[in-house]
Amino acid sequence: MPLEVLQRAAADMSNWHDADGKPSGMGVMEMSHRGKAFGSIVQHAEVCLRRLLAVPEAFHILFMQGGGLAQNAIVPMNLCGPDSTKPALDFVLTGSWSQKSCQEAAKYGAPRIAASAQESGFHRIPEPGGWQLSPNARYVHICGNETIHGVEFHTLPDLRALGSDAPLVVDFSSHVASRPVDWSRVGLAFAGAQKNLGPAGLTLLVVRDDLLGAALDICPSAFNFKNIADNASLFNTPPTYGIYMAGLVFDWVEQQGGIAAIEARNIEKADLLYQAVDGSDLYFNPVEPTCRSRMNVPFFLRDPALESDFLQGAEQAGLLQLKGHKSVGGLRASIYNAMPLEGVQALVAFMRSFERTRA
Ligand SMILES: *Cc1c(COP(=O)(O)O)cnc(C)c1O
């Protein structure tokens, strides 16, 4: 979270002020989600996000509960159609998150693996020209940024050019709002909020209008995109505080200069870190340079025995949460939007000094 956002929320914790500075006499957590004050908060978040990410009018922006993983079930339940036969769903496997999505979808549809980078250890993105897309798939799922393997799509695939009419579903949980989105290539995108948008518990959905109304009969009403869209995210109580915080984060992104400025900063941060990794004899990153993530930078010590020393020294230097995900090991720096350039500079300085002491 950006520090300015936390400070702003702290100042309004027990008495929220509207845009004109007028106090409401209560904190956001105490508001009715159907009241005027909260109505203005949710509307602000939506308008601000639409402007920031240039979301076209043909898409609904929905705020939901359940996190990113829940969408692995909620998306197929909403897109598979009312038929009882399980329709074909295409998945491109680029790491742990797309694998999980594919597994969960089997409860509702018939997932097929259009392409997989598993044999490469998930160190690359399969060339879209070689994807085996099903002629009748209800959708094609990709994970825009694989948080664990550090692999990112820097260009979204153009499914029409690949001969498919299916909508593209993108899990953009871990790189949402870090870069612009080409909505002409997207049918639906979802994101758990906790990486770039705000506190856990909020899930963002951006869905093209023509995809609404195709839910399975078993789809819970509270998870039916059409219900949520028809009720402007207020079908039931949404994660109100998370929506409020996300609105503050969107304000902050605008103050930074918008998505283009945030992207430029993210590129600078990621380049600095990858250069430090590539330019050293101690560290390495196995991901193909063309698809390296700007948000999550996994790196490994050539001598894994040094890992615990590295983590201990880093912690002493105030550099926290650098342990890699347990499924791949090694180290990982997650440098989301709110991480300032100075944070990456401090990490790189520590990495260099650690390498010198081992030389
Ligand atoms: C973090 C993350 C999620 C969300 O997980 P939840 O814990 O269910 O919110 C989903 N997809 C990706 C790519 C993620 O990084």
- The pLDDT tens digits of the residues spanning 82-125 come to 776 899 999 999 999 999 999 999 999 999 999 999 999 999 99
Average pLDDT over residues 304-330: 96
**pLDDT for 57 beyond 70:** yes
pLDDT given for residue 84 in this prediction: 67
Helix (H, G, I), strand (E, B) or coil at 43: helix
Phi first, then psi: give them for residue 137, nearest 5 degrees.
-65, 140
CATH code of the domain made up of 3-255: 3.40.640.10
Strand arrangement, sheet containing 188-192? 59-64, 203-208, 188-192, 168-171, 140-143, 88-93, 110-116
Q: Report the CATH architecture of 258-358.
A: Alpha-Beta Complex (3.90)
pLDDT given for residue 164 in this prediction: 95
Q: The tokens of 91 are what?
A: 């998945």
Phi first, then psi: give them for residue 17, nearest 5 degrees.
-105, 140
> How far, in Å, CA of 160 to CA of 155, rounded?
14
Q: The tokens of 169 are what?
A: 């579903």
Average pLDDT over residues 8-16: 97
> What residue ranges do the domains of the chain occupy?
3-255, 258-358
CATH topology match: 3-255 vs 258-358: no
Atom of ligand 1 nearest to the CA of 72: 10
Average pLDDT over residues 190-208: 97
Q: Please report the DSSP string for 218-255 in residue order.
A: TS-GGG-HHHHHHTTT-SS---HHHHHHHHHHHHHHHH
| Distance between Cα 195 and ligand 1 center (Å) | 8
In the DSSP assignment, the letter for residue 305 is G
| Distance between Cα 67 and ligand 1 center (Å) | 7
Contacts 24+ apart (CB under 8 A), 284-289: 285/150, 286/121, 286/123, 287/123, 287/124, 287/149, 287/150, 287/151, 288/123, 288/124, 288/125
**pLDDT for 159 beyond 90:** yes
Average pLDDT over residues 341-352: 98
**pLDDT for 209 beyond 90:** yes
Q: Mean pLDDT for the chain?
A: 97
Helix (H, G, I), strand (E, B) or coil at 347: helix
The residue whose CA is least distant from atom 12 of ligand 1 is: 173
The residue whose CA is least distant from atom 9 of ligand 1 is: 67
Q: Ligand 1: does its nearest atom lie under 6 Å from the Cβ of 97?
A: yes
Pocket test for ligand 1, best of 71, 92, 146, 171 (most atoms within 8 A of CB): 171
| Distance between Cα 106 and ligand 1 center (Å) | 19
115 contacts 138 by C-beta, under 8 angstroms: no
Q: Ligand 1: does its nearest atom lie under 6 Å from the Cβ of 147?
A: yes
Q: Ligand 1: does its nearest atom lie under 6 Å from the Cβ of 69?
A: yes
> How far, in Å, CA of 47 to CA of 36, rounded?
16
pLDDT given for residue 344 in this prediction: 98
CA angle 63-65-71, nearest 5°? 90
pLDDT given for residue 358 in this prediction: 84
| CB contact set of 10 (below 8 Å; sequence gap of 6+) | none
The residue whose CA is least distant from atom 5 of ligand 1 is: 68
Instruction: Give all strands (DSSP E) within 82-214, no chain letters.
Output: 88-93, 110-116, 140-143, 145-146, 151-152, 168-171, 188-192, 203-208
Q: The tokens of 256 are what?
A: 């930074």
Residues carrying an active site annotation: 97, 171, 195
> How far, in Å, CA of 358 to CA of 282, rounded?
9
